[in-house]
Amino acid sequence: MATSKWPQVQVKLLLVERWARDGLTEEQICKNLGVSRSIFNVYKNEHPDLLDALKKGREVAITEVENALFKRALGFNYEETKVSIRVVGGKEVKFTEKTTKYQAPDVAACSILLKNKDKERGWSDNPQKLELDKLMFEFHKKIEEAKVFGNENN
């Protein structure tokens, strides 16, 4: 019987978390660890700490993207640095110029945030679908109750 590679994977859980945070796919993580995709899936099922490392890394990445999207939606100030070399008195002199600029709010970023974070107040591409989904949920809930409790509610 082949020996398990889990001990080699286990010592790299912090790396797995970092790789997930950096946006690597599970296929890429498998390659970095030197294990097949099928073995990796077995390890995910058998070792919750591997699954936790993947989730934790992805959560950090998602939070960073959400924060960047939020910043873009509201607009922000940033500093731009330009470096130029000029000849002064026969010598090359390096000049650094810093300017503060303003990035205006991005309407697309606003739309994405509102559609994903505030659906209850009607921010949706398709508000009718949102309402239909709510009705379908209630309908399926009543069907499940009827299966469990019989037809006594009718």
1 and 67 share one domain? yes
Residue 126 DSSP symbol: -
Range of the domain at 20: 1-74
131 and 93 share one domain? no
Q: What pLDDT, in 10s, does the model give residues 88-134?
A: 899 999 999 999 999 999 999 999 988 888 877 777 777 777 778 88
Mean of the pLDDT values across residues 37-46? 95
The whole-model pTM stands at 0.58
11 and 54 share one domain? yes
Q: What is the chain's length?
A: 154
Query: Residue 57 is encoded by which pair of tokens?
Result: 């890394």
Q: What is the pLDDT of residue 147?
A: 86
98 and 134 share one domain? no
> Is the pLDDT assigned to residue 1 strictly greater than 80?
no
Q: What ranges make up the beta strands (E) of 15-90?
A: 76-88
2 and 57 share one domain? yes
51 and 119 share one domain? no
41 and 99 share one domain? no
Distance CA 131, CA 138 (A): 11
55 and 1 share one domain? yes
Mean pLDDT of the chain: 90
Amino acid 92 reads E
Around Cβ 17, how many Cβ atoms within 10 Å?
A: 20
Residue 121 three-state SS:
helix
Query: Which candidate, 22, 51, 27, 49, places its Cα nearest to that of 38?
Result: 27
Last residue of a domain, one of 74, 101, 132: 74
- Residue pair 13/43 in contact (Cβ under 8 Å)? The answer is no
111 and 152 share one domain? no
- Residue pair 44/37 in contact (Cβ under 8 Å)? The answer is no
80 and 51 share one domain? no
Q: What is the pLDDT of residue 152?
A: 58
Handedness of CA 139, 143, 145, 150 (dihedral sign): positive
Our count of domains for the chain comes to 3
Give buried/exposed letters for 80-101 (b at 16+ CB in 10 A, else e): eeeeeeeeeeeeeeeeeeeeee
101 and 42 share one domain? no
8 and 67 share one domain? yes
